Amino acid sequence: MRKNNFMLYGCLVLVGILVGSVLFVNPSAQAFWGDDKHVEQKKESKKIVIPQEQAITKVVDEVGPAVVSIITKKVKVSRDFFLNPVPRQVKGLGSGVIFDKKGYILTNNHVVAGAEAIKVILSDGRELQAKLVGNDPRSDLAVIKVDAKDLPVAPLGNSKQIDVGQLAIAIGSPYDVKFRNTVTTGVISAVNRTIRTKNGILENLIQTDASINPGNSGGPLLNSQGEVIGINTAIIGGSAQGIGFAIPINKAKKIVSDLIKYGKVKRPWLGIYGTDITEKLKNYYGLPVAKGVLIIQSVTDSPASKAGLSQGDIIIEVNREKIEGMEELKRIIKKQEIGDKLKLLVMDNNGGLTPVTVTLKEMPSK
């Protein structure tokens, strides 16, 4: 009997050893009992960086410091109960990008227009007073300047080389200065867009789905190489999402040069209001041609009026180049300089042709 008890005891000990060895060898059991020293150690997760993430972080590191917040003070006049004027000070917020070591900053005209004081906050926290160098309401661009040393500068790219679908990075100060240098990303959604804003019509814009919010205006739109390809300017409100617009940097380059040199943009001017001739318009008014520019009004004292152009005339050729509508006429005029002569071929309502030479003048600022 004692022998049987001894054998039973030995078997239990053996089973206990085997079970114990399983507990100490089995990782899941070790984890369960909390006896695994390796499980107690915090595992380090590897940071995997894909090429697009790498491009974005590189751009932000290199170009982000050149993006500034712009705070303006404007005076707006309202009326009290007795219709007396009551001036009040209003603060505005926008963004800008430093493009020259001399302290020149590119932004939107609507950010700084009418401002009594302009303050710039750099990415390093420095606050500087800025002065308006020049502004252009027609393109919604402006240049301001700060006096400071060791300023970071953003490289200007080539907006003619952008492709729909490529990466787009926007940096700015949405809603509040405490959100300055906010980065959003997306793609180039489309090019050559035209929109109507409360300040006028903007043409040939870049469309992007990178988030552009109030306060982002004037900030840069960048490509994956960290080059400025546009200046963020507008969003479509209401229920639309992911639809923002930027002024192509190539257009801005031409304007910036004039703003620094003259404080305004000098443009050649013909001085007409016109419309494209369509088949429908031709049939309705009995016009002799189906293509060209129909003059609706010739502005008083303009080059056009001084050359004898008047309402009802049809421009069908400019410098021996046939034109189909206003876009082609504007394209040709933009290539000219103030003082250049345009040779027009003009048709009257009876189909008679008359060559007319017009000397372009500087477009009035208003």
Q: Domain map of the chain by residue range?
A: 2-36, 62-145, 159-262, 268-362
Q: Which of 139, 159, 217, 298 is catalytic?
A: 217
Name the amino acid, one letter, at 276: D
Longest CA–CA span in the chain (Å) reads: 136
pLDDT for 312 beyond 70: yes
pTM: 0.77
Give catalytic status of residue 258 as yes or no: no
Name the amino acid, one letter, at 309: L
Are the C-beta atoms of residues 55 and 113 closer than 8 Å to each other?
A: no
pLDDT for 38 beyond 60: no
**Alpha carbon distance 130, 136 (integer Å):** 17
Identify which has the larger pLDDT, 20 or 299.
Answer: 299
Give catalytic status of residue 217 as yes or no: yes
pLDDT for 175 beyond 60: yes
SS3 313: coil
Identify which has the larger pLDDT, 250 or 29.
Answer: 250
**pLDDT band for position 237 (cuts 50, 70, 90):** low
**Alpha carbon distance 49, 2 (integer Å):** 71
Torsion over CA: 302, 304, 309, 314 (sign): negative
SS3 255: helix
**pLDDT band for position 226 (cuts 50, 70, 90):** very high
**Alpha carbon distance 128, 126 (integer Å):** 6
Least confident segment among 41-50, 166-175, 184-193? 41-50
169-193 average pLDDT score: 90
CA distances in angstroms from 253 to 229, 231, 350, listed in the order given: 11, 11, 45
324-359 pLDDT tens trace? 999 999 999 999 999 999 999 999 988 899 999 999
Question: 195: which strand partners?
Answer: 202
Among candidate residues 228, 201, 235, 268, the one with its CA nearest the CA of residue 107 = 228
Topology, domain 268-362: Pdz3 Domain (2.30.42)
Strands (E), 198-248: 200-208, 220-222, 228-235, 244-248
Question: 141: which strand partners?
Answer: 136
pLDDT at 34: 44
Q: Which of 110, 136, 189, 211 is catalytic?
A: 110
Give catalytic status of residue 276 as yes or no: no
197-206 average pLDDT score: 85
Q: Which of 140, 159, 211, 302 is catalytic?
A: 140
pLDDT at 181: 86
86-111 pLDDT tens trace? 888 888 999 999 999 999 999 999 99
**pLDDT band for position 216 (cuts 50, 70, 90):** confident
Identify which has the larger pLDDT, 62 or 10.
Answer: 62
Identify which has the larger pLDDT, 121 or 6.
Answer: 121
pLDDT at 366: 65
**Alpha carbon distance 190, 88 (integer Å):** 41
pLDDT at 31: 38
139-152 average pLDDT score: 94
Q: How many CB atoms lie within 10 A of CB 51?
A: 8
Identify which has the larger pLDDT, 299 or 216.
Answer: 299
| Backbone torsions φ then ψ of 132, nearest 5 degrees | -80, 125
The vertex-119 CA angle with 114 and 122, nearest 5°, equals 140
pLDDT at 338: 95
Would you say the CATH fold of 268-362 matches that of 159-262? no
Look over the chain and give the mean of its residue pLDDT values, rounded to a whole number.
85
272-282 average pLDDT score: 92
**pLDDT band for position 241 (cuts 50, 70, 90):** low
DSSP 65: G
Span 62-145 CATH architecture: Beta Barrel (2.40)
CA distances in angstroms from 366 to 112, 136, 180, 265, 363, listed in the order given: 18, 11, 34, 12, 8
CATH class entry, domain 159-262: mainly beta
pLDDT at 119: 96
pLDDT at 177: 80
Is residue 282 packed enough to be buried (19+ CB in 10 Å), middle (13-18) or exposed (0-12)? middle
pLDDT at 26: 44
The token pair at 283 is: 């049939």
